Amino acid sequence: MQQIKLTSSKIGEVDADAIIVGYFSDQSSSYAEEISDATGEFVGNLLNNGDFEAKPNEVVVLPYIKGLQANRLVLAGLGKSSEFNAAVALRAAGSAAKALSEKKLGHVVICFPADFLAEAVAGVIVGNHGQDIMRSEPKIHSFGSFSVMTGNTSAVTEGQILGNAINTARMLVNLPPNVLYPETFAERVETLGEESGFEVEVWDDAQLQEQECRTLLAVAQGSDKPPRMLTMKYLGATEDAPVLALVGKGVTFDSGGYSLKPSEGMLDMKCDMGGAATVVGAMQAISLLNLPINVVGYCGLVENLVSGRAYKLGDVIRSRNGKTIEIHNTDAEGRLVLADVLDVASKSGADHIVDFATLTGACLVALGLDCAGLFTNDQKWCDQFREAADLAGEDSWQLPMTDNFSEQIKSNVADLKNVGAGRWGGSITAAKFLEEFVAETPWIHVDIAGPAWSDKEKKWIDAGGSGCFVRTLVQLAKEYSQANL
């Protein structure tokens, strides 16, 4: 882990390759006054002439400014002070770091407001890393080292943990499917657990057979790569404290099976394990932050491929909880994987469950590329999640779960079928299917098909995996033990 230092030097005396300074559009700061003292009217003239308006994510890089020892002054827009929040801090710092990352820089210093400093530090770490992890010569370069102008050690430590955890999730999503498949995913998480302080148990295909995880195994049987189920356990509270279960869909590659995807729809299907990546990143952060919570993460890991062994349309499979499922679409595989994993979580003593999955294209149609869909059987629990997501600045929207959608997943030959009645309300019928496997446990399903992956880069983050909702889960974990649920 890269060491981040703290500094109290005057801005004009900072010796670095670059110094990043956050600016509000409607008020000055001690940093701004220091820069004015060191550079005269230079930056003030930029502001007065409209060459820098300090809008959110606006970045201006100024090399070799007289009065500064740093080689570059980077102005990072924060927008209005009244609208400053966690998301603004992360994105502004990420935008500045990403603007510098094309060059190999040694030491960089960041000066940001004390509020949401942890998110700013996380933003630098996120902006410093790209999806080109398999390139011989990456286009995005991490800083050799960086310092934060503050005395708040805890904020810097938390920000570093958050940024690294987000990048863990991003890295898992960005790795190609010939490198990351169920076995290697599990191996990486075992190593991460040792480094971060959470226990890892791995069920192989034999143990999955013993545990009667038949729906997960059905999806996996078309591949030569055997499936895995991960259980990650962090116990930071007393034995009698409530247990939060985090469940992630981990389809490391999804061809669609016999309901085969077209080539253009299959290219990025290494990202179909984004839910599992979110859970792993959250477990890393929660453990390293030593939060006072008992949390268990579960990930079902499979490949969905085509072969003579692959499951077929018309098959009927008995799930772990005993319900039979008629297969109407082999590309609706994620809910089959989650069915067994949710049953494991609910029967293992979880008091509350949140699952994450890149589950349906219908959710993208409903909510777009940046907003996750929320579905629940317990409104109070969902409200708690929404509050955490709002504080983290991650977009989500709750969709209805009325009983008429349950009628659409009833089969004529089995208890359930794995898709609803046609295209309409597809994200809701998928959620109603999952609801069949959580018993009475308060549960939230988070469909991250949109925000987990981006084809285009943004100012603060490269294209590819986003690491979405890792910060929301950390926020949720902080509040969980005090929540009146």
Give tens-digit pLDDT for 61-74.
Answer: 999 998 899 999 99
- Cα dihedral 205→209→215→221 (10° resolution): 40
CA distance 241 to 380: 19
User: Of 356, 368, 382, whose CA–CA distance to 281 is shortest?
Assistant: 356
For the question of residue 261 being annotated catalytic, the response is: yes
What are the phi and psi torsion angles at 121 (to 5°)?
A: -60, -45
Predicted confidence (pLDDT) at residue 2 exceeds the cutoff of 70:
no
What is the structure's pLDDT at 27?
A: 86
Domains of the chain: 10-149 (3.40.220.10), 166-480 (3.40.630.10)
DSSP string, 310-346: S--TT-EEE-TTS-EEE-S-TT--HHHHHHHHHHHHH
**More confident site: 41 or 330:** 330
User: Out of 55, 188, 225, 261, which one is annotated catalytic?
Assistant: 261
Give me the pLDDT at residue 1, please: 52
Q: Which of 72, 98, 228, 335 is catalytic?
A: 335
Q: Label residues 282-294 b or e (16+ Cβ within 10 Å = b).
A: bbbbbbbbebebb
Residue 123 to residue 147: CA distance in whole angstroms: 14
Beta bridge partners of 245: 296, 353
Lowest mean pLDDT among 86-100, 129-143, 440-454: 129-143
Task: Name the more confident of 212 and 7.
Answer: 212
CA–CA separation, 97 and 143 (whole Å): 9
H or E element at residue 216: helix 214-220
Active site residue 471: no
Q: Which helix (H) or strand (E) holds 157?
A: helix 153-174
**Nearest alpha-carbon partner for 188 in 247, 232, 144:** 232
Q: Is 363 in contact with 459 (CB distance < 8 Å)? A: no
Q: Which burial class, exposed, middle or buried, applies to 66 when counting CB atoms under 10 A from its CB (0-12, 13-18, 19+)? A: exposed
Mean pLDDT over all residues of the chain? 95
Q: What is the pLDDT of residues 368-418, one digit of tens each?
A: 999 999 999 999 999 999 999 999 999 999 999 999 999 999 999 999 999
